[in-house]
Structure 1
Amino acid sequence: MHARRPYPSDLSDARWELIEPVLSAWRFERRGRALDFGRPPEHDLREIMDAILYVDRTGVQWRYLPHDFPPWETVYGYFAKWTKEGVFTQLSGLLRELVRQKEGRSAKPSACVIDAQSVKTSTSVPAAGQGIDAAKKIVGRKRSIVTDTLGLMLVVLVTAASVQDSVAGTDLIDHVAAAHPSIRKAWVDGGYRQHLVEHAARLGIDMEIVQRTPGTKGFAPLPKRWTVERTYGWLMFHRRLARDYETLPARSEAVIHLAMTDLMARRLAGETTISWRDPETRDQTHIPG
């Protein structure tokens, strides 16, 4: 690996040990199908992953990657390939199971929480892929996620902000039923309609709509549902998610999976995720969290 001064977003040795087997297996399988199998790869996978995490954590444009990383075109090429081939989804899933086991839970969840978040988009997002969330007065995209009761993400779906929660929720619950057959209970908020509850029931999932107490103003944590709200807060440690900068929805989903991978790897390694506003750590050369 090229020797350079580390960035706070770099993988520690402990986190790299968690991620490396998946990336090495991907490279081995890919080289096995290539004609230049005997030629050693030009770039170190850890450096590539560090560069992608740098973008996700800082929000910088790909072209603005520091020069001590591999060329931005190469880094973006790996990001696009890993997105297309589901590497970030695979990493997120494997680390989620490890975190659940570390917390004394079964690797496979039995309950989930569903919620949606509308975010503004950048100029790189095609107009056809955007919409208006009339309730929240936001022009952009909607991130619909499913988490377990620990707040660890199971599924993410990125759509235009104009897509109704129940419409996106139908796709989500179909995916949950197929990919996580152990789930038998789901909680949603009042934005989801009764027909989604009935659809979930046909799939063997008991869905409960958790309503706000009448007259409640401002933010108030709701039973069972506060965990998914906390997950959105965790994701905001990654500035790339402050708004949607990705041209394709699939790549928007990938940077969310990447953020969760980073968060869970830190959790497994016992490393703190540092807030960018923390004055005690802002000027340190290397931040272990």
Structure 2
Amino acid sequence: MCRRYPSDLSDARWELVEPVLAAWRAERRGRGLDIGRPPDHDLRILLDAVLYVNRTGIPWRCLPHDYPPWPTVYAYFARWQEEGVFDQLNTLLRRQVRWQEGREDEPSACVIDSQSIKTSTNVPAAGQGIDARKKIVGRKRSIVIDTVGLLLGVLVTAASVQDSVAGQHLIDRVAAEHPTVRKTWVDGGYRQHLVEHAATLGIDMHIVRRDPATRGFSVLPRRWTVERTLGRLMNHRRLARDYEAHPHRSEAIIHLAMINLMTRRLTDESTPTWRGA
């Protein structure tokens, strides 16, 4: 297939994700969910359209006309999110990246951090809050990654939600979904009670604090990994703000960005930046 835009999947990247999407479509047909529907759109062009929105940050209604109609693209995006396709792709690709780098499929340690972000005008006020420390009105993205920088979990909340509250949800999820994890690192925004909660789950939590005497930027042990991941995610303009009306759609956008990064990592394709654009 001819690539129209830089965000489109190369043949090598499509080969990595095609089996999951093909199995998803076959499973739906097996349940009779597509009977009586119009002819199916090509899965690759649909995913290309979703990645285009994720990478460029445009509204869904502004999709170029050589993609399928935007309501169709968004409907597939929503269905993939609801039926766990993005979660499945992230798990599969993460294991492949770890295997490629000579590591076990499942991690033994992780890092947790959060990022407060402003929201667009279409986000309901009930789903927003104020991060008093950062003086940001919007939402908070809490992520947990392995030591390679790959996503293990994400939770989007109002910015007013404390790091320790979101962190407890994430550490519970890690304990349930990744039982091999025995150690995690967090910053000073996470409270001692979370350390104690993690201990009850068999996870040793370390709080990495910044030296108050240090001025300017400094690399913190272990913490730099999650900061690097957040920086790479922010190369996707859809994440420059939170444009999604529903938090679970925001989480799907983060999963999509990580899918983009991991497929490029597996195929040795560089990730273009916006510098000089």
TM-score normalised over the length of structure 2 = 0.97
Q: Match for residue 258 of structure 2?
A: 260
Q: How does 1:211-250 map to 2 (within 5 A)?
A: 211-250=209-248
Paired with 1:105 and 1:35, the residues of 2 have a C-alpha distance of 39
Of 146, 159, 162, which aligns to 2:160? Answer: 162
SS in 1 for 2:117: strand
Deviation of 1:35 after TM superposition, in Å, equals: 5.9
Q: 1:221 to 1:99 in 2, by over 3 A?
A: same
Of 95, 98, 105, which aligns to 1:97? Answer: 95
Paired with 1:164 and 1:35, the residues of 2 have a C-alpha distance of 41
1:18 equivalenced with 2:16 (yes/no): yes
Paired with 2:103 and 2:14, the residues of 1 have a C-alpha distance of 24
Q: How does 1:174-189 map to 2 (within 5 A)?
A: 174-189=172-187
Instruction: Give the AA of the match of 2:237.
Output: R
Q: How does 1:1-289 map to 2 (within 5 A)?
A: 6-34=4-32, 37=35, 41-277=39-275, 279=276
SS in 1 for 2:137: strand
Deviation of 1:62 after TM superposition, in Å, equals: 0.3
Paired with 1:28 and 1:35, the residues of 2 have a C-alpha distance of 10
Deviation of 1:214 after TM superposition, in Å, equals: 2.0
Paired with 1:267 and 1:224, the residues of 2 have a C-alpha distance of 21
Instruction: Give the AA of the match of 2:222.
Output: K
Q: Match for residue 285 of structure 1?
A: none
CA contact (8 A) 2:129 2:160 kept: yes
Instruction: Give the AA of the match of 1:196.
Output: L
Deviation of 1:39 after TM superposition, in Å, equals: 7.6
Paired with 2:113 and 2:33, the residues of 1 have a C-alpha distance of 45
CA contact (8 A) 2:140 2:157 kept: yes
- Report which stretch shifted further, 266-275 or 26-35: 26-35
Instruction: Give the AA of the match of 2:59.
Output: Q
Q: For residues 206-232 of structure 1, give each alpha carbon's deviation from its aligned partner in whole angstroms, at most 9, with x where no partner exists.
A: 000011112223332100110000000
Question: Would you identify which runs of 4 or more consecutive aligned residues in structure 1 move more than 3 Å?
Answer: 35-41
Paired with 2:142 and 2:23, the residues of 1 have a C-alpha distance of 30
Deviation of 1:38 after TM superposition, in Å, equals: 8.9
Instruction: Give the AA of the match of 2:86.
Output: F
Deviation of 1:26 after TM superposition, in Å, equals: 0.4
Unaligned runs of 5+ in 2: none
Q: 1:208 to 1:20 in 2, by over 3 A?
A: same
- Report which stretch shifted further, 240-249 or 28-37: 28-37
Output the aligned Cα RMSD: 1.4
SS in 1 for 2:45: helix
Deviation of 1:40 after TM superposition, in Å, equals: 8.1
Instruction: Give the AA of the match of 1:130.
Output: Q
Q: Match for residue 287 of structure 1?
A: none
Unaligned runs of 5+ in 1: 283-289
Task: Count the aligned residue pairs.
Answer: 277
Paired with 2:170 and 2:219, the residues of 1 have a C-alpha distance of 23
Paired with 1:111 and 1:41, the residues of 2 have a C-alpha distance of 46
Instruction: Give the AA of the match of 2:13.
Output: R
Q: 1:45 to 1:135 in 2, by over 3 A?
A: same
Deviation of 1:191 after TM superposition, in Å, equals: 0.3
TM-score normalised over the length of structure 1 = 0.93
Paired with 2:59 and 2:72, the residues of 1 have a C-alpha distance of 14
Paired with 1:31 and 1:111, the residues of 2 have a C-alpha distance of 39
